[in-house]
Amino acid sequence: MSKKLISFLFILLALGNFQAQDKAEKALEIFSEKYPQEKIHLVFNKNSFVAGENLWFKSFVFNGYELSAISTSLFVELYDSNKTQISKKILPLINGKGNGNLTLPDNLKEGIYYVRAYTTWMTNFSEDFQTLRPIVVYNPSSPQKLVINDNSQWTAAAFPESGTFIDGIATKFAVRLQSKGITPSEWSGYVVDMEKPEVKITSFKGFDQNVGAFSLTPTTGKKYQLIVTDSKGNKQTVNLPPVADSGIHLQVTSTNEAIKFSLQSKNIAPGTVYKVIAMINNQLVFKVKSGKILEQTYTIPANQLINGILQLTVFDDKENVLAHRLCFVQPDLLNIKKPTLQSLSLDPSPRASNSFTIAQNAENDGYTVLVLDGNSESSEDENSLLSTLWLTGDIRSKIYRPSQYFTPNRNSEAFDALLLTETWKRFDWKTLLSGTYPIISSQPQPYISYKGKVSIQGKPAANTAMNLLFSMPDKGTKLYQVKTDANGFFTLRGLIFEDSIKFSYQLNDPKIPKEQVQVIFQPDYSFVSLKGNLPGSHYTLVQRTNNDQPTDQVKRYVTTKNNQSSINEKATLIEEVKLQAVKKDKTKELNEKLSGPLFQSANETIFDFVNDNTNTAQGSMNILQWLQGRVAGLTLEMDMGNYVPKLRGSTVNIYLDEMKIDPSQVSTVSTADIAMVKVMKDYFLGGSGGGGGAIAIYTRRGGISGSANNADLPSKLKQITLNGFDKEVPFVSPIYGNDNFNSISQDVRTTLYWNSSLKTDPKEPAKIQFFNNDDAKSYKVIIMGFDDRDYAPVYYNEAVK
């Protein structure tokens, strides 16, 4: 359950006259606790591409309305319009965030392609909630070209509020447009009585290209029609639902102060008991059950809630769903942390240096920063981080430019009408009340995990110890021991490495010849085939003629692509010179020297006692006591006179020079002899079974202990290569002011700066520097992240000059 929702859940339940749980509440509680829902947002370095370019992306994986801690690996795939897979990647997720790139082959035909992203946990649920983003790829050499499909047919549908249309009750309707291409930007409609089609009862204009709204009080026996027309004269007629002579109607109003709702009825016996429950992110936040529910208006205080979609459902005394409604909490008061830009130094001169800083913020550990030529489009223009978090991550129907509902000039009335046309898609009440829940067939493994099987002369090596050895420059040969189970199997969990790594292996029993031993490794993860259909797009392909010329945008892309190899080569040379001139961070260098690949964690805190001149640990009798209070979540408990460390309430293992020791042995290690301590709060290979955290102590004695004596040993043993995460290609921009880049005759880059993981210092502002292209006069700056303390997105998307 969301940490923030817990804090006000009981307040709202009390306001809602909470009683004992009924079947619906029990089913919702089970679903919320056991089946959390992940959703993914992808932001690209630009909005469209040409064949042969690299596509860089940043991923944010959410569990409801906060960053997800469920998954640590992300699967990303590229498909063409025929659903043929072109490439695939597996990437690490650190605190719910990841980044990478996809290389678009030079021979890709011009067309619409699709980037798919999902986690192992997401494959247990509807494929509809996986991310499937269309991208435009141009190729002037292709026989066909893309054109916008603005002449396709559109359809209209009418949705009465709460799904009911009852005699004598004023009812709000939302009208939703859909199309395979682009829906009309200007359209309107009116309602008539079918017996008097020449008389307009009410009329309206569309809010945007998705939705419009009107209100109507119906009369039993009459039949109503909706006529919708666009600016080109296209027309569609829609029959409104039949008018019911009895029933329950739910009316909802959402403001910044409160969500107010009331039930209106016709021909309903007084005293009938009804129940209304409200939920956010599948979690119950309000409930009322009463025989007098039809007699009053109820208020849910919005300041006790978080931004998000609120679902209200009305049940009868047999828990049948009578009415439902979606609305958004505080639509005009979005909780967004907007970074502050400072020290702007912008020069529109060709190839000039530009810079700005982002004010320091102790609550943010980093940002994704994108700077575009001001005339360029961004992938955020269509579907932004905000619209994924608060809308499209849970509502999977086609919405034209969903980002518009979260911009400063948003139309909240249009957004409310849009939600009136939707139902909650994460589950359906009928299925939930029947006791049917998702079947969990795939559990997420920590980072990269492998299963292995050891055989001796073809027979499983049961309960056998095996040594894994690997050698690293300047580190000697590291040894890690695993033990098989009764069937000869073992697991390696929580590996964090890129590309590949080579292991040598031998059984711990020297009497068994290595020729008789066979070890088979198999990844404990898998890509999952795409079963559903690809979504439509706003484009269609037409035959290219001999006179067709590429657009200015495509010409810019081609020029940039042709320049990029030269830019990469020259920038790499400059970076190599920098690295030779600048000394490595001493703590980082110490960590690389002392700890082997098995003892690497994505979430580790390092205490350097070699280079830290203010080392206070030497005055402590026990290093564990010194660590307490310096590591968040670390506590100590006494057990038979020894300190036992715990993280998040769970006992963690202690390693001395990467060899596991008992807590009682820590007191025998003098703090004066300690070179470094690492507290790892995440999975790592060196832990037992992958581990969920550890304290690793490294001594000054012997430099690197835990190494095999014979450095040549691995070369004499059998070897196996394990594949890790896919490595990201670095994003490189020209650095003007350096003669190496004078050979670039034309600079027409649209992406001037891209940093998917800009690290920040809580005490210092973060500085961004980039160089202009040849013609940019303004810039589009996009900064994004997530504030874990306040559970709020960090977002900046503005044009600057």
Report pLDDT digits (tens) over 744-790: 889 999 999 999 999 887 778 889 999 999 998 899 999 999 988 88
Amino acid at 463: N
Asked whether 730 and 505 are in contact (CB, 8 A), the reply is no
Confidence at residue 398, expressed as pLDDT on a 0 to 100 scale: 92
Asked whether 628 and 609 are in contact (CB, 8 A), the reply is no
Confidence at residue 244, expressed as pLDDT on a 0 to 100 scale: 96
Confidence at residue 625, expressed as pLDDT on a 0 to 100 scale: 84
Q: What is the DSSP string of 115-148?
A: EEEE-TGGGGS-GGGSEEEEEEEE-TTSSEEEEE
Where helices occur in 434-474 by DSSP H, the ranges are none
Confidence at residue 11, expressed as pLDDT on a 0 to 100 scale: 46
Spatial neighbors of 270 by CB under 8 A, at least 6 apart, are 294
Residue 211 has pLDDT above 60, yes or no: yes
Instruction: Look at domain 3-33+152-328 and name its CATH class.
Output: mainly beta
Q: Rounded CA gap, 285 and 289, in Å?
A: 14
| Of 730, 727, 731, nearest in space to 501 by CA | 727
Tokens representing 696?
A: 């690793």
Confidence at residue 709, expressed as pLDDT on a 0 to 100 scale: 43
Report pLDDT digits (tens) over 669-685: 777 778 889 998 877 76
Q: Rounded CA gap, 645 and 635, in Å?
A: 6
Most confident of 203-207, 346-350, 554-558: 203-207
Q: Rounded CA gap, 640 and 663, in Å?
A: 11
Residue 688 has pLDDT above 80, yes or no: no
Q: What is the mean pLDDT of residues 26-47?
A: 95
Confidence at residue 742, expressed as pLDDT on a 0 to 100 scale: 76
Give the angle subtended at the CA of 798 by the CAs of 419 and 785, to the nearest 5°. Answer: 70
Tokens representing 665?
A: 């042995």
Q: Where are the beta strands (DSSP E) in 534-616?
A: 539-543, 604-608
Residue 498 has pLDDT above 90, yes or no: no
Report pLDDT digits (tens) over 613-658: 666 776 677 888 888 878 877 888 877 767 888 887 788 888 887 8
Report pLDDT digits (tens) over 514-523: 778 888 888 8
Confidence at residue 690, expressed as pLDDT on a 0 to 100 scale: 47
Residue 743 has pLDDT above 90, yes or no: no
Confidence at residue 510, expressed as pLDDT on a 0 to 100 scale: 74
Q: What is the mean pLDDT of residues 290-309?
A: 90
pLDDT band per the 50, 70, 90 thresholds, residue 583: very low
From residue 27, how far is each of 30, 260, 282, 369, 719 by CA, in Å? 5, 25, 10, 42, 51
In the chain, where are the structural domains located?
3-33+152-328, 446-526+586-726
Q: Rounded CA gap, 660 and 323, in Å?
A: 60
Which is it for the CA torsion 355, 358, 359, 360, positive or negative? negative
The total of other beta-carbon atoms located within 10 Å of residue 531's CB is 7
Q: What residues form DSSP beta bridges with 248?
A: 265
Higher confidence at residue 222 or residue 19? 222
Confidence at residue 687, expressed as pLDDT on a 0 to 100 scale: 67
Instruction: Kindly report which listed range (191-200, 321-330, 477-486, 547-556) carries the lowest average pLDDT score.
Output: 477-486
> What pTM, to 2 d.p., does this model score?
0.85
Give the angle subtended at the CA of 632 by the CAs of 627 and 635, to the nearest 5°. Answer: 60
**Percentage of residues in the chain with pLDDT exceeding 90?**
57
Spatial neighbors of 699 by CB under 8 A, at least 6 apart, are 656, 657, 669, 673, 674, 675, 705
Asked whether 298 and 262 are in contact (CB, 8 A), the reply is yes
- Give Rg (Cα) of the chain: 31
Higher confidence at residue 482 or residue 88? 88
Residue 182, SS3 per DSSP: coil
Residue 536, SS3 per DSSP: coil
- Return the H-helix or E-strand segment holding 321: strand 321-328
Instruction: Look at domain 446-526+586-726 and name its CATH class.
Output: mainly beta
Residue 102 has pLDDT above 90, yes or no: yes
Q: What is the mean pLDDT of residues 112-131?
A: 96
Residue 482 has pLDDT above 90, yes or no: no
Residue 333 has pLDDT above 90, yes or no: yes
Instruction: Kindly report which listed range (108-117, 645-654, 712-721) carries the lowest average pLDDT score.
Output: 712-721
Q: What is the mean pLDDT of residues 67-90?
A: 95
Where helices occur in 175-251 by DSSP H, the ranges are none
